[in-house]
Chains A and B, each alone.
Chain A
Amino acid sequence: MPDLDVQIRSYFEATTRPVGVDDLLEYETPVVPPTVVPKPRIRRGMLVAAAAAAAIVVAFVFSLVIPGSEVPPITQPTPTTSLPLSETPPSELFDLTDWIAVYESPPNGGRSIDQGTFLIHPDGTGREEAGDIDGRISNFGLMPDWSPDGTRLLMARGIIGIRRDSDRLYEVDLLTGTTRALFACAGRCISDSYPAYSPDGSSIAFVRRTGVFVSTTDAGGGGSSSLEDSSCGIWVGSVDSLEAEQITSDPACVTTSPRWSPSGGELVYAMGDGADTPLHAIYVIDLATREISQITDLGLDGAEPDWSPDGGWIVFGTHPAQWWDAGDKPQGNLYRVRPDGSDLQQLTFFDSSKPRTSGARYTPDGRWIVFSVDNEIWAMPSEGGEPLRLLTGGRYSQVDWQP
């Protein structure tokens, strides 16, 4: 049998017919594309603006509910048109050959082996395992983050401090399919989580938990283990040397979700107040001076921030909670704010009867915000507007769009 390249070439040569000039002149049903500009920016721009307009409609439809005591004054995007975004096919809005990295939980009653990070096209097709950790396909890979060149994926293995040893960060090389563990987590290190590549791909920011497990033995010979002297902080490590440096210190272990500014000079992150029913705020740290600025009020309970690719905005969700522990938490919504804390804008208007939002991330072109809504992945124009359901039918959360 000939080599694979020869076989493919022979197959295409044998099964395609050339199109000649004479064929064109006889072409009976010519298809003249109405819009032939590659990746038509004008049309997309119109749609984005249209979606911003639809925010007004959405506000009425969803019966806007905002706890007035906790939300600072809000401005709204200016509507310009009323094109119904939800009626536009996804193929008109997205490149359907892009990949979305998304964490998928097992279905109810499913096996835990079914959970992990998968790559899926924006129209829900082409589901593939994103990597192989410890010999198991994408098993337990959480919090995916694409490298800026789109060739690697970062994943964590656990949420802060639930397990020990295995809770490291992993980097999947999508060119080779190989996976490597990052940053030795030994000694007082309990777990690493919330990984994020720097804009140049050379560094990774993450949250590290440290502490000491103390084992006790009772009179009956039984035992238990507790975590003592625990602390957390944001660390930044080198992709090449795997040397890591602590950036912030957080004895209450309420720091989450560091994300880089496009310049690489700052990190935005969320930190709770440590209360039994915690409230959260968004902070920005200048990595050169280590100066920290709180950019949202604690009462807004904002978390899971992401920096827009143009550097102008930070999107975040409020009242962070997952479906399994939402309890009596107020309904969360998405907001955006300038990095200096000005110009706060509410982007979604779900009331308490509507699904819970989390994990907002900008698409690499900055035109969309993708986020999880209960078990689905939705998208919304970055200026706000009518959201679209992208990935449904699974138990999806923690999304990141391929660069």
Chain B
Amino acid sequence: MTAQQIIFILIALFTLGSAVMVVTTRNLVHAALWLVSTLFGVAVVYALLNANFIAVVQVVIYIGAIAILFIFAVMLTRKDMRDAGPQINKNWWAGVLVSLLVFGGLVYMLKEWSGFTKTASELPPGFDSIGLLGEALVSPNAYVLPFEVASVLLLAALVGAVYVAFNPRAGKSDK
């Protein structure tokens, strides 16, 4: 077993353990903080895959923006941070079934793949992964359409959020 495999297994256990804590802890702020550690574990997995850019973006977006917003939302909307209700509902068996099917399907498909048992080859020195990613995102032969569609979708979400939050009468009321 190589050092990288040992690190991967430790990180995977850390990520999975944190993910389990997210859904089992009764304190909502703790759940959000465990979610942060789960997302951090995923960022480390990206770093292990030599995807530095994705790893750093994962930390910036998910921990720096989304997790902070979660914590804000929990703190601003809940009077009591403890959730007293039952933690599973009567559809638990369907959730177990779907997750097992997805996991089984992924394992089955990956076993068929020829690269499953190989270790990742080292990147050649001077390999400009960010430059290639940037070019791929705006190249017509690659991903420019999905990239632009995602941008328009996000813009629409932004406009929608502003529309929902904007109250045209708020400015006039103090007159």
Query: Are A and B subunits of one complex?
Result: no
By a beta-carbon cutoff of 8 Å, the part of chain A in contact with chain B is none
By a beta-carbon cutoff of 8 Å, the part of chain B in contact with chain A is none
